[in-house]
Amino acid sequence: MAPRAIITGAAGLIGQYLVNTAPRWAPGWDVQGLSRAHLDLTDRANVERTWQSIKPNAVIHCAALSRTKACEQDPEQARRINVEVTAHLAQLSQNIPFIFLSSGEVFDGKTGWYGETDEPNPINVYGQTKLEAEQAVLQNPEHTVVRIVLTAGTSQNGDRSFVEDMCRAAKAGKDVTLYADEFRCPLPAAVIARAIWELVDCKQPGLYHLGGSERLSRWEIGETLLPWYPELKSRLVKGSVQDHVGSPRPADLSLRCDKIQRLLSFRIPGFREWLAGRPRRGEDVWDYLDGSW
């Protein structure tokens, strides 16, 4: 019987890619994707029954309350979903590999190019809950935390990635303000999915950073997307993080990824490098089919 892997947050962007790419990158696994429609992860008794029924051999925990604004508006809900649920699932998975997807938002963004040994200092509720969840997971030396940043891709409902958010706003006739002094290392969800599946096979638990090899400002990211998304033309507005009003946003969340790169069979691409090799067809641009990386 093939080993079983549970993917939580299977309706989310990365969760969808993990499930959909499993036949290619994890052909030996029987993958069970769990979304909110399948299971309320805050229902502890039902979660425990599900774990006992499926008897997973590995768990990849993607589910989260990840919208920064939503976390600021309801910190208790953010803590319940991001911290308490994660700690519970890690406890249920104490004897099997458990991979938790965290975030670069655990850093304050003052310096950038953060490594795994740099001291976290979250400045918003989302980052704080992710850090607390990390601490719960890493109490088990056989478990793994992967910090990611800005993720591109195409989701089932078209409402999961930052690219989809931008295009939806533009199509609605709204301007999209992008900060020229806010930096990220964006990466397509398909690349993240392949890296996670390889990490499962590596069986080397611990803390890892996973981001694109290129540091770009939000404005540069928007300009890079224009050839693929013409609806963004005339809608992009250059702004500054100094003028930001709302939930606190770290200015520079670029990540050093040397540690995970040493384990992977492919080179982590930069965002512009990835796009340069894609066809200029919107829904296909994020597919990860050629295995060239």
pTM of the full structure: 0.93
Question: Phi and psi (nearest 5°) for 145?
Answer: -120, 130
Q: Domain-by-domain residue ranges, the chain?
A: 4-284
pLDDT tens digits for range 20-61: 999 999 999 999 999 999 999 999 999 999 999 999 999 999
What is the per-residue pLDDT for 160? Answer: 72
pLDDT tens digits for range 203-228: 999 999 999 999 999 999 999 999 98
**Orientation angle between helical segments 162-171 and 218-225, nearest 10 degrees:** 70
245's CB contacts (< 8 A; 6+ apart) are: none
pLDDT tens, the chain, 293 aa long:
899 999 999 999 999 999 999 999 999 999 999 999 999 999 999 999 999 999 999 999 999 999 999 999 999 999 999 999 999 999 999 999 999 999 999 999 999 999 999 999 999 999 999 999 999 999 999 999 999 989 988 877 766 788 889 999 999 999 999 999 999 999 999 999 999 999 999 999 999 999 999 999 999 999 999 998 999 999 999 999 999 988 899 999 999 999 999 999 999 999 999 888 876 654 456 665 444 44
Q: Quick check: 165 and 128 in contact, CB under 8 A?
A: no
Q: Quick check: 12 and 160 in contact, CB under 8 A?
A: yes
Q: For the domain 4-284, what is the CATH superfamily, name and number?
A: NAD(P)-binding Rossmann-like Domain (3.40.50.720)
